[in-house]
Structure 1
């Protein structure tokens, strides 16, 4: 059962990644768009909590950590892409399941059977192969610190999600706290950035991208809210998967959402698959089959 929920979460987050990629090509203000993404989650979670009569217990406050970790991880990832090597950052942001497996073992004594461990290794190896770039060299590690921080905090975000299930926190109140913290953080980041851009325009040192003109603040925010539905449903599915499955395995399966994004770039963006990408996809599939068997 957990494998089904984790696989559906991977699909949902893959769709989210596709829409993120699309929005990045439209000239949208990233922080305002992400504010909209998290705002949708907060509103939908609040409605869900009242519809299903869920209790607002102290354990639901784990959502505050989920929101903070998610924001920090995204901020580090964006900073890494801005100052570092995209291939390196992509590889590091594919490694949170390793952090999750390690912490789950240390904190809760979760272990994997030999078959599950083999499946986990196959999935991680496949993800890394897909994200590998031939121009990555030991002497070319700009932004590695940001990638490592993103990896750790994405892992901590998964751990906080699992913790909420161990504490038997109600789903929607937990997600409400998570999305509310994320909304506030991205809104603050957007306002700070907006103020800095305003000052730069007054000094004549900033010119907005040409394509940004058609994406005013209102349109950008509501587009983010629409994209936020994929994030909202993805979070419901991954928390449910955490409830029934082993933490590290769930995290590894969900990380395979990169395969859906890769297919999108092949079909719609017309990017050709590299040999390593095809090999990585097959390795991931082998890992999924192994999980099904073991």
Structure 2
């Protein structure tokens, strides 16, 4: 059953990645968007726990650590989509299973079985092949640094999630703590950004007044275009973030269920296959070209999933 949970989590995270990429190309406030994402997680977690009545026991403080790592990872991934190619960012961020499987072995002596190891190797090979295409060979690695940072931070999030399972912390209270932490951090960034923008506007007003006094009107070319950004109001951005957050909370619940019985590195590898969803979106919606090598990588990924299914 853990295998199906991991597959479903991968699908949810893939949809989340598509929504992140799509939104990153719109004039929506990034921090406010993530406030909505995490606020949605809080609401859903509390509603689910209202029914499940899971206790707030020892270990739920790990949710704070998960929230900090998740906050930094999501911010890095979103920034990567803003400045780089979607496929490149997705590739580097999807290598987190390599870190997870090594850390799980060092921390908990947790190693996959022989057949699971074969499946894991095939999946990782697929992740490498699927994006070792023209982008990497030609040096078009825009966004790779943000993707790599997201990879490390998502690895730490997975490891913290597994630790919460090992200590017997209740899943829904842990998730609540995680989303509260993320909400507070992104809200803090949003407020700080608004303060910075307010100061910038005051400086712009002072510069305009100075230009008028010197009879040097400000250039029209430097005036900001507020038409597009005006459409993404605070309310719309927050509500859209809460909508995107439904895919995030669904993926986290499914992943934590998978981690209860599955090998940490294998679960991480399966959930990382969400990159395939993003790459297919990049190919068919964004019209990014897909080489035979990339198609081979996708086929290998599915082959690896089949092997892991047989091993589960």
**TM-score (normalised: structure 1):** 0.90
Distance 2:110 2:278 in 1: 30
The structure-2 alpha-carbon separation of the partners of 1:27 and 1:278, relative to structure 1 and needing over 3 Å to count, comes to same
- Which segments of 5 or more consecutive residues in structure 2 lack a partner in the other structure? 205-221
Query: C-alpha separation between the residues in 1 aligned to 2:89 and 2:48?
Result: 35
Q: Residue 216 of structure 2 corresponds to which residue in structure 1?
A: none
1:231 equivalent to 2:248? Answer: yes
- 1:196 matched residue in structure 2: 196
Count of aligned residue pairs for this structure pair: 294
| Structure number, greater radius of gyration | 2
Distance 1:96 1:23, change over 3 A: same
After superposing the two structures, state which structure 1 stretch, 121-130 or 162-171, moved more.
121-130
Q: Does 1:67 align with 2:67?
A: yes
Tell me how far apart the structure 1 counterparts of residues 50 and 18 of structure 2 sit (CA, whole Å).
31
Cα distance 1:55–1:128, how it changes in 2: closer, same or farther (>3 A)?
Answer: same
Instruction: Find out whether 1:134 has 2:134 as its counterpart.
Output: yes
1:108 aligns to 2:108 (yes or no): yes
User: Is residue 211 of structure 1 aligned with residue 228 of structure 2?
Assistant: yes
Structure 1 CA distance for aligned equivalents of residues 38 and 29 of structure 2: 15
SS state at 2:61 partner: helix
> 1:246 — aligned with what?
263
Q: Does residue 260 of structure 1 match 2:266?
A: no
Alpha-carbon distance between aligned partners in 1 of 2:88 and 2:283, rounded to the nearest angstrom: 21
Given candidates 298, 301, 305, the residue that maps to 1:281 is: 298
Distance 1:122 1:115 in 2: 11
Q: CA RMSD in A?
A: 2.5
Please give the secondary structure, in 2, of the residue aligned with 1:33.
Answer: helix
Name which of structure 1's ranges 146-155 and 104-113 shifts more when overlaid on structure 2: 146-155
CA contact (8 A) 2:124 2:269 kept: yes
- How far did residue 82 of structure 1 move? 6.5
Q: Is the 8 A contact 2:15 2:277 kept in 1?
A: yes
Q: Is the 8 A contact 1:45 1:175 kept in 2?
A: yes
Report SS of the residue matched to 1:18.
helix
Q: What TM-score comes out, normalization by structure 2 length?
A: 0.85
Residue 169 of structure 1: aligned partner: 169
Q: Counterparts of 1:278 and 1:238 in 2: how far apart (Å)?
A: 27
CA distance 1:208–1:10, change in 2 (3 Å): farther
Post-superposition offset of 1:88: 5.7
What is the CA–CA distance in structure 2 between the aligned matches of 1:176 and 1:33, rounded to whole Å? 18
Structure 1 runs not aligned, ≥5 long: none
SS in 2 for 1:59: coil
Q: What secondary structure is seen at the aligned counterpart in 1 of 2:169?
A: coil
Distance 1:280 1:139, change over 3 A: closer
Deviation at residue 253 of structure 1 after TM alignment: 0.3
Q: Which secondary structure does the structure 2 equivalent of 1:155 belong to?
A: helix
